[in-house]
């Protein structure tokens, strides 16, 4: 059915565009929730696809990848407990105090960090510490 009046044709066209924009906006919501997969996904050229949808979908993937990497990464307290556990299970003992040399302990710290893929300390790491009082 073809509209006879030009103004009716413009209104009909505007309503179609508005409906498509609503579908595209809903697609952005689906992508933001991480549900733009399988049958809920759409590709460029699909009715519900838009550049905004793709950007939200890409951002959600980056967010999910970062969250997974953080879950896999050892926390600072886990590293301290792990290092202490390793020291207490080694056959070779090491003595640590203000009266002993630091290099042997640092060698073990470096080895533990390397094996566990821990980042190097930041330049001002020592300014962030609070030492317990004995």
Residue 120 has pLDDT above 60, yes or no: yes
Query: Could you tell me the CA-to-CA distances from 28 to 23, 44, 66, 67, 93 in Å, in that order?
Result: 9, 14, 20, 20, 58
This prediction's pTM = 0.53
How many residues belong to the chain? 134
Per-residue model confidence as pLDDT tens digits over 58-97: 999 999 988 888 777 888 899 999 999 999 999 998 888 8
* pLDDT attached to residue 3: 53
- Helical residues (DSSP H) of the chain, grouped into ranges: 6-32, 51-72, 76-89, 103-115
* pLDDT attached to residue 6: 74
CA neighbours closer than 13 Å in the CB half-sphere of residue 107:
6
């Amino acid at each position: 059915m073809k509209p006879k009046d030009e103004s009716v044709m413009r209104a009909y066209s505007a309503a179609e565009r508005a409906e498509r924009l609503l579908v595209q906006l809903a697609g952005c919501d689906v992508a933001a929730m991480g549900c733009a997969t399988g049958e809920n996904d759409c590709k460029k050229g699909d009715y519900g696809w838009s550049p905004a949808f793709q950007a939200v979908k890409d951002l959600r993937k980056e967010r999910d990848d970062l969250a997974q990497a953080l879950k896999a990464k050892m926390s600072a307290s886990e590293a301290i407990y792990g290092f202490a556990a390793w020291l207490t299970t080694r056959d070779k003992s090491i003595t640590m105090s203000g009266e002993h040399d630091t290099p042997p302990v640092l060698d073990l710290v470096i080895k533990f960090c390397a094996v566990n893929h821990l980042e190097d300390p930041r330049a001002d790491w020592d300014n962030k510490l609070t030492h317990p009082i004995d």
